[in-house]
Amino acid sequence: MGSLNLHIDIDTNSGFCFGVVYAIDMAEEILDEQKYLYCLGDIVHNDEEVRRLENKGLKIIDHEILKSLTNEKVLIRAHGEPPSTYKLALENNLELIDASCPVVLKLQNRIKKSYDKKESIYIYGKHGHAEVLGLKGQTQDEAIVFQGLDELEVKNLPKEITLYSQTTKSVHKFHELTSSLREAGIEVKANDTICRQVSNRDAELQNFAKKYDTIIFVSGTKSSNGKVLYQVCLSQNPNTHFVSNVDELDTTWFSQSSSVGICGATSTPMWLMEDIKNRILTF
């Protein structure tokens, strides 16, 4: 036990969302039966968890490598994939273990229906993000993806657009965007397709962050949802620190603290938050 007398709590609502739990459970089940499994892209945007699974035999591959594989099993992670991936799997006799999140699959179907109706589809999301590529793929890549209004020439937009959102975006920002577009005279058919497990975290973390002297927010740097939720904590508590692993902890953060709250993204494993707590206890 260290010299700092700290009260440390881990947020019970933090940790993997059900989509990630589902994908990881599936991967572990197969890895228990066979010694390796291919996974298309990082199974979760958390390097520490990816490393743990790679040690069990998970092999992370990209689309280039996928093209050269035949007669193998390949896991599709929670983010989902565009139709082209399924087509390639048929051609190369690949067995896809589909762990696409049900929330994402439902959204893919909705976008496909809008596309079939010839609507002008806009997606509020991060360029190049795995989920976004899967969504855009439902529209033969015709949907316009944007991260902020500054990317759209509003005066040149169609008079009517259908707006969707990547599932891990901020609900508040989505509604702000919708209002701005409507104020500019555009008829927006807005579909708030943000996952409620993610958006509820927003409100929960606002309350959690206020309760402690110091907040340690644990997330991989690649996690979109981690960036959003870190900002939520920071807005409520200026003593919020972002870390990806135990080595990034700094003893000076805790000298004036008596209470510490540890929380994380929907891609942050609970074991990592436990490790962080145990390391702080040694300070």
Residues taking part in catalysis: 131
Whole-number Å distance between alpha carbons of 213 and 253 = 10
Whole-number Å distance between alpha carbons of 147 and 282 = 41
Whole-number Å distance between alpha carbons of 2 and 282 = 4
Q: Which of 261, 236, 273 lies closest to 16 in space, CA to CA?
A: 273
Strands (E), the chain: 7-10, 37-40, 58-61, 73-76, 95-98, 121-124, 144-146, 160-165, 187-190, 214-218, 240-243, 259-264
Name, in order, each residue with C-beta under 8 angstroms of 254's C-beta and a sequence gap of 6 or more: 4, 6, 214, 260, 280, 283
Computed from CA positions of residues 192, 148, 183, 181, in that sequence, does the dihedral angle turn out positive or negative? negative
Q: Provide the token pair at 18.
A: 């059900």
